[in-house]
Structure 1
Amino acid sequence: MSDAATQSEPALRDERPGGPVGVSDRNAAATPDGFRTMMSRFPTGVCVVTSVAADGLPRGMTCSAVCSVSVDPPTLLVCLRAASPTLAAVLTSGAFTVNLLHEGAQDVAELFASGNPDRFLMTPWERTPGSAGPHLVQDAHTVADCDVVLTQRMGDHVTVFGETRRITQRHVQEPLLYGLRQFRPWSRT
């Protein structure tokens, strides 16, 4: 390799105190594991998306793929696993709830990520008239009830766009974050 080629591809370094930590500067094909690792380095908030299935039972899953789309009309999107019972309930009912978790709700985030069929028996929730899905009354700092306005499948997930019809502020606590495959509170300790 020539010196010019080496100079055009600078090494990536982490300049944190304690000395640089080398990061590979080599190009590699994107693989599912490599993609997961890359995305783990992009911290995000954590929510539980809930809905009600055709049989009337609640469904829900932990989700960190949430994004605002539009302020007018107020619209957000969530990305849900295509084979998930929660997605099936969302598509059948045409509505879903986004429960934004607070920093004390790590156990609930893990519970709803586990696939445990008894998750709704293990955490307090309610569904009031006008709500799209169950509200996690102790674990969500804010809740958005949404109507499905568009869906788009991409690979093993479906992006669901929801027009937000109601927002409920539940607790004044800092949000729960997820990054580097770990949950962390927003506030400094």
Structure 2
Amino acid sequence: MTAAPVSRDVTAVQGFRDLMSAFPTGVSVITALDADGAPHGMTCTSLTSVAADPPTLLVCLNLRSGTLAAVRDSGGFAVNLLHTNGKRAAELFSSAAPERFTRLPWRPSAEVGAPLLVEDAFATAECVVAGLHVVEDHAIVIGKVVDVGQREDDPLLYGFRSFSSWER
């Protein structure tokens, strides 16, 4: 069986973006330290579990991302799941704003040293890179979870190109 050619049709790309925007998901900020110890982070909705034993997850990061470079440099990263009041962090880390880590409080994680967003995240996972696979313009980064933290709060959601919440 021959694979169908990849479409570069603008209509197909927009249709795909519309499709994915209709799939609400939680909002996270992926963080890591580069080789010089500088923090990097980006908003990410491409996050999923892979296995429960051992705990493993994956994130998809753009190949041009400084965060991906930092993940490669350090061999680890943190997943910061944002709560309903974390919209400010989601917007900040999806922008090209300089010095983003000076604009909100964070601390280094205990296991891998990656930034934890102490006010905007209700749950965190520290991960060691267990694999990386490049697909088109993104890398699928497999993370072995080495530590988790969580407090009671409601998650920030993103779908239909807007933020929302899921209240219990």
TM-score over 0.5 (shorter chain): yes
Give the partner amino acid of 1:136.
Answer: L
Counterpart of 1:155 (choices 136, 143, 154) is 136
Give the partner amino acid of 2:24.
Answer: P
Q: Counterpart in 1 of 2:4?
A: none
Deviation, structure 1 residue 92: 1.1
Q: Deviations over 1:127-154 (max 9, x none)?
A: 1432441000000001000000011111
1:68 and 1:160 map into 2 onto residues whose CA distance is: 12
Q: Quote the RMSD (CA, aligned, Å).
A: 1.5
Count residues in correspondence: 160
Give the partner amino acid of 1:61.
Answer: M
Mark the runs of 5 or more structure 1 residues left unpaired by the alignment. 1-27
Contact in 1 for aligned 2:109/2:126 (Cα 8 Å) = no
Deviation, structure 1 residue 31: 2.0
Contact in 1 for aligned 2:111/2:146 (Cα 8 Å) = no
Q: Which has the larger radius of gyration?
A: 1
Q: Counterpart in 1 of 2:5?
A: none
Deviation, structure 1 residue 30: 6.6
Counterpart of 1:75 (choices 47, 53, 56) is 56
2:110 and 2:154 map into 1 onto residues whose CA distance is: 27
Contact in 2 for aligned 1:46/1:64 (Cα 8 Å) = yes
Identity of aligned residues (%): 48
Deviation, structure 1 residue 33: 1.5
TM-score by length of structure 2 reads 0.91
| DSSP-derived class of the 2:108 partner | coil
Mark the runs of 5 or more structure 2 residues left unpaired by the alignment. 1-8
Q: Counterpart in 1 of 2:167?
A: 187
Q: Deviations over 1:80-101 (max 9, x none)?
A: 0110000000011110000000
Give the partner amino acid of 2:96.
Answer: G
Contact in 2 for aligned 1:132/1:146 (Cα 8 Å) = no
Counterpart of 2:123 (choices 132, 142, 151) is 142
Q: Counterpart in 2 of 1:129?
A: 110
1:39 and 1:128 map into 2 onto residues whose CA distance is: 32
